[in-house]
Structure 1
Amino acid sequence: MLRRGLGVADVVRRSVDLRRHAPAVTDPLLGKSLSYRELWSRSGRLAAALVRRGVAPGDLVVVDSARSTDLVVAMLGILRAGAAYLPLDTRAPAGRVAEILDDVRVKVAVSDGRPDSVLAAVAPHLDVLAAEQPPPAGKVLLPDAGGDDPAYALFTSGSTGRPKGVLVPHRAVLRLAVAARFCTVEPGDRVAQLSSPAFDATTFEVWNTLVNGGEVVLLPSVAELAMDEWVALVRRERITAMFLTTSLFHALAREVPDACSSLATVVVGGEQLELPAVRRVLAAGPPGRLVNGYGPTETTTFAAYFDCTGESVAGLERVPVGYPLQETELYVLDEGLRPVAAGEVGELCVGGAGVALGYVGRPELTAERFVADPDGGPGLYRTGDLARQLPSGALEVLGRRDRQVKLRGFRIELPEIELAATATGLVDAAFVEKEGEGPSAVLAGYVLPAPGTDAAALPGELATRLAGRLPSYMLPPRWQVLARIPFGATGKVDRAALASAVVAAPVDAGPAGPLESELLELCRQVLGGRAAHAGDNFLDAGGNSLGATQLASRISRVFGVRVRPAEILLAATMGELATRVENLRTEKGGAAREFPAENRR
């Protein structure tokens, strides 16, 4: 057990003392690396600069940086200044960033100076520093921070149409990182850093590594490389441990099931883990440990874990979320927050040192979701997930009490998208549902036009308006226009009947030739059975970056040519993509041929 009040930087300092010249953060593609001594020195200079700018304990400091060595310097430097960091999603539109900054009182930001940063436009009042700072002129006393002091804030989707900031203390980060049951990191281990700075998996990737003397290795997303190149990079960089979103794991399981065989530990999380994908990886060449990790942002990345082995998943119908992490308690409670009997369904509540402090500036919502811990701990967080205890003692999550969903690792409140759509004035009503699971999952949007709105132009206009308000992962790839709102027997909207109430669309002309036809079939498989038409682009058809990676892999296998995922995402239509594939085959000297059925899967 850690003594109460210890801070994250205090524990990282132990690694610095023991491993001064060992690498702490490495960017292999850029050839950049910081030793523990260099990381400590640079973060100290930044901390001194922040204190001199008036940053005080408990303040929030914005971090506007892509994944880089500078990002890690900024995170550690802010903690050493006694403050808490607020990382922004570098891909978020200006409207989303402005909305977040309106909710918090910040006066200083640390930025990597990217030319596409929206920070200057939405918050010109901020005092912006670079992560690289010169040595201070004279000694600067850095304050202590730890225990219940805030370490960072992350903003997640909000059911009221407004994002909410989760405030996480030092003791919660250290509960995740020290003596971790779900993933052991030892001195010298190389842990991949793949997540967006605004995604809570970064907490695991950075702090579990640095607290234990490992090396943070910055790797590109699998969507940035061909899948086989990405797997080769992971192996070449001798990665020891890695977090994968469930969607990415599912894609790897389908395309390269032995992709993780060189790793000691792979932790998967974000959505329900598919049992067939787990079994395929276990059969093809698993990592040393394959762990299903579960936990909302409010419980500091993970609250439960389950080791997936052939024995542990035998006879199961779904993968459990498992058992509590260290210094964590899990409860299955009824509506009155009383324990239910083993095997009965109730709401999963989390207690222990990993529970967050609450929501930034949202006392009513904090009181609703963070309640008293019967064991006298920091408090319980009501996850809103329905769960039950299996005979083995492991917990199984069955779904949501509300309408929050997980998509490609992101937590999304569907009402937020609906409210944003109606706020445009273009529609009288909007309905958003998640369709499918795993890599083929997609948001489906349905709207009833407002009087005077051109129904034909509505989907494009609505998508354009929302792109400035919501991040890309919250945008349905296609909005379908309703002729009417279907109601059920109780008078409520019949969401299951929405598709049947859509205005009829023009009939697609069909594929132009055998190659295009085969390409559309590959696309249909990647999209989980949804048809794609020659006039669609991949995104309109319901695709995403992970699906593009899968499709690129299948194009390589079936047609014998290499297409980058980015080309699939940027192609105006599937017909244009088919032309690109045909041209590549011609350049390569490939003749037209029949495509064997076994190559299509």
Structure 2
Amino acid sequence: MKIPAGTRWLRDDRVIRRSGGILQYDCLEPCLAELLDRSALRFANRAAVVDRCGRVLSYRELWASAARVAGGLLDQGVGPADRVVVNRPNGFRWLIGFLGVVLAGGVPVLPDPTCSSEETAEIEAHSGAVLTLGDDLPDGVAFLDGGATPEELAVLYYVRVAGGGLRGVELTNTNVLSTIEAVAHAMDLRGEGARTVLTAPLSTAVGCGVQLLPTLAAGGTVVIPGSRVIRAPWRHLRAAFPTSRCVRGWGVAETGGIGLLLPSEHRPRHPRSVGVPFGGIEVALLGPDAERGIGELLCRGPSVARRYWHDPSATADAFADDGWFRTGDQVRIDAEGFVEPLAVRVS
């Protein structure tokens, strides 16, 4: 059963239906590097990132450092579409390294934060990475390659799947930019003063795609807290940041980190819901009870990945030709379109 798109909440009229039937954003930038470069120039003197010690990097400082890393990568032979593993903990150096790969025209490869050193080595081999950024970042003459196209690979997330294995999720520039637009619109990030506290590791789709990149694109400030904050339960986060908006939602790497969002005014009436579709995401149900509003959640939309990296069997199982992704999550969807989880896949 397909659930009609465009609920009366979180509607975005910039999303239009194109060939193939999948909703798409109109007038996106060609690639992530160009979007972020425009933001860096426009908001040069604003604070881009603050760490737990109170240290601040402005957009100008962040971009200058990332561009030098890009130049250093170029000196080491990294070219357009080359994969580069970013293997550092949350912090300034992770951010500078990640952006350096983007500016060099490369593809950041982001291991699941639970990966062991042996698993990271497997990711390096499986992704065909030409380099891994660890403790030391390359340094060279400032460089920016903004020539990527919308359908080229922008980031490669390695996520843990049932059984404990790892799988590479391909996200194109269109996927990533669509997530940015969806989050910026739903969270009203436009305008000076937006501050986002990271509540997920930067190497995840939520930490990078949903929290970091939309904030930078909008000229806001990313706050990188200590690891104890990231691991804190929901109620502790709300207590630690009483004036902030704590948003409940659902998303996985395969959907660009987004998918469902629960408007705060609807929490009292829908205490178990993880939200309604937004950002051009459409949902459907699969299974014998789909007509009664219960089944496996399917998603499609502009941020949804096209396939798994070098895994045709898993791709055929999870991604349909018409754009639907099988999440593996059992849910209930009510008459208003609110989604309530029943059983969530282990991943």
Interval containing the TM-score (normalised by the shorter chain): 0.7 to 0.9
2:59 aligned residue: 36
Secondary structure at 1:75 match in 2 = helix
2:152 aligned residue: 149
Q: How many residues align?
A: 320
Q: What CA distance in whole angstroms lies between the structure 1 residues aligned with 2:28 and 2:43?
A: 25
- Identity between Structure 1 and Structure 2 (%): 26
Q: What CA distance in whole angstroms lies between the structure 2 residues aligned with 1:199 and 1:22?
A: 25
Secondary structure at 1:371 match in 2 = coil
Q: Alignment partner for residue 216 of structure 1, among 222, 243, 257?
A: 222
1:165 aligned residue: 168
Asked whether the equivalents of residues 68 and 218 of structure 1 are also in contact (C-alpha less than 8 Å), the reply is: yes
2:35 aligned residue: 11
2:15 aligned residue: none
What amino acid sits opposite 1:67 in the alignment? N
Matched, 1:62 2:85: yes
Matched, 1:248 2:233: yes
Q: Alignment partner for residue 75 of structure 2, among 38, 52, 58?
A: 52
Matched, 1:183 2:187: yes
Secondary structure at 1:106 match in 2 = coil
Asked whether the equivalents of residues 156 and 170 of structure 2 are also in contact (C-alpha less than 8 Å), the reply is: yes
Using a 3 Å threshold, how does the CA distance of structure 1 residues 324 and 38 change in structure 2: closer, same or farther?
Answer: same
Secondary structure at 2:85 match in 1 = strand
How far apart are residue 213 of structure 1 and its match?
0.4
Using a 3 Å threshold, how does the CA distance of structure 1 residues 206 and 397 change in structure 2: closer, same or farther?
Answer: same
Structure 2: runs of 5 or more not aligned: 1-24
Q: What CA distance in whole angstroms lies between the structure 2 residues aligned with 1:19 and 1:258?
A: 31
Matched, 1:349 2:289: no
How far apart are residue 162 of structure 1 and its match?
2.7
Q: Alignment partner for residue 95 of structure 1, among 110, 118, 125?
A: 118
Secondary structure at 2:305 match in 1 = coil
Alignment RMSD (CA, Å): 2.6
Q: What's the CA shift string for 1:541-583, capped at 9, x where partnerless?
A: xxxxxxxxxxxxxxxxxxxxxxxxxxxxxxxxxxxxxxxxxxx
Using a 3 Å threshold, how does the CA distance of structure 1 residues 248 and 307 change in structure 2: closer, same or farther?
Answer: same
Superposition map of 1:366-515 within 5 A: 366-373=315-322, 379-400=323-344, 404-405=345-346, 411=347
How far apart are residue 91 of structure 1 and its match?
6.0
After TM superposition, the structure 1 stretch with the greater mean CA deviation from structure 2, 4-13 or 74-83, is 4-13
Q: Alignment partner for residue 362 of structure 1, among 299, 311, 330?
A: 311
Asked whether the equivalents of residues 51 and 81 of structure 1 are also in contact (C-alpha less than 8 Å), the reply is: yes
2:12 aligned residue: none
1:326 aligned residue: 279
How far apart are residue 177 of structure 1 and its match?
1.5
Secondary structure at 1:397 match in 2 = strand
Secondary structure at 1:76 match in 2 = helix
2:11 aligned residue: none
How far apart are residue 105 of structure 1 and its match?
0.6
Matched, 1:174 2:177: yes
Q: TM-score, normalised by structure 1?
A: 0.50
Q: What CA distance in whole angstroms lies between the structure 1 residues aligned with 2:63 and 2:28?
A: 23
- Deviating runs (4+, > 6 A) in structure 1? none
What amino acid sits opposite 1:26 in the alignment? V
What amino acid sits opposite 1:266 in the alignment? C
Asked whether the equivalents of residues 8 and 146 of structure 1 are also in contact (C-alpha less than 8 Å), the reply is: no
What amino acid sits opposite 1:198 in the alignment? S
Secondary structure at 1:178 match in 2 = helix
Asked whether the equivalents of residues 330 and 350 of structure 1 are also in contact (C-alpha less than 8 Å), the reply is: yes
Q: What CA distance in whole angstroms lies between the structure 2 residues aligned with 1:66 and 1:322?
A: 30
Q: What CA distance in whole angstroms lies between the structure 2 residues aligned with 1:328 and 1:72?
A: 28
Structure 1: runs of 5 or more not aligned: 114-129, 224-243, 268-291, 374-378, 406-410, 412-601
What amino acid sits opposite 1:24 in the alignment? A
Q: What CA distance in whole angstroms lies between the structure 2 residues aligned with 1:212 and 1:93?
A: 34
Asked whether the equivalents of residues 66 and 103 of structure 2 are also in contact (C-alpha less than 8 Å), the reply is: yes
Q: What CA distance in whole angstroms lies between the structure 2 residues aligned with 1:163 and 1:134?
A: 33
2:21 aligned residue: none
Q: What's the CA shift string for 1:392-446, capped at 9, x where partnerless?
A: 222222214xxx33xxxxx3xxxxxxxxxxxxxxxxxxxxxxxxxxxxxxxxxxx
Q: What CA distance in whole angstroms lies between the structure 2 residues aligned with 1:319 and 1:182?
A: 20
What amino acid sits opposite 1:93 in the alignment? S
2:268 aligned residue: 313
Q: What's the CA shift string for 1:354-391, capped at 9, x where partnerless?
A: 11132111111112101122xxxxx2211011223212
Using a 3 Å threshold, how does the CA distance of structure 1 residues 399 and 89 change in structure 2: closer, same or farther?
Answer: closer
- Asked which structure has the greater RCO (Cα within 8 Å, sep 6+), the reply is 2
2:207 aligned residue: 202
Asked whether the equivalents of residues 304 and 324 of structure 1 are also in contact (C-alpha less than 8 Å), the reply is: yes
How far apart are residue 168 of structure 1 and its match?
1.4
What amino acid sits opposite 1:327 in the alignment? G
Using a 3 Å threshold, how does the CA distance of structure 1 residues 248 and 167 change in structure 2: closer, same or farther?
Answer: same
Matched, 1:23 2:8: no
1:583 aligned residue: none
Using a 3 Å threshold, how does the CA distance of structure 1 residues 146 and 328 change in structure 2: closer, same or farther?
Answer: farther
What amino acid sits opposite 1:261 in the alignment? P
Q: Higher Cα Rg: structure 1 or 2?
A: 1
Using a 3 Å threshold, how does the CA distance of structure 1 residues 35 and 169 change in structure 2: closer, same or farther?
Answer: same
How far apart are residue 160 of structure 1 and its match?
5.5
Asked whether the equivalents of residues 20 and 37 of structure 1 are also in contact (C-alpha less than 8 Å), the reply is: yes
Q: What CA distance in whole angstroms lies between the structure 2 residues aligned with 1:202 and 1:351?
A: 21
1:107 aligned residue: 130
Using a 3 Å threshold, how does the CA distance of structure 1 residues 2 and 212 change in structure 2: closer, same or farther?
Answer: farther
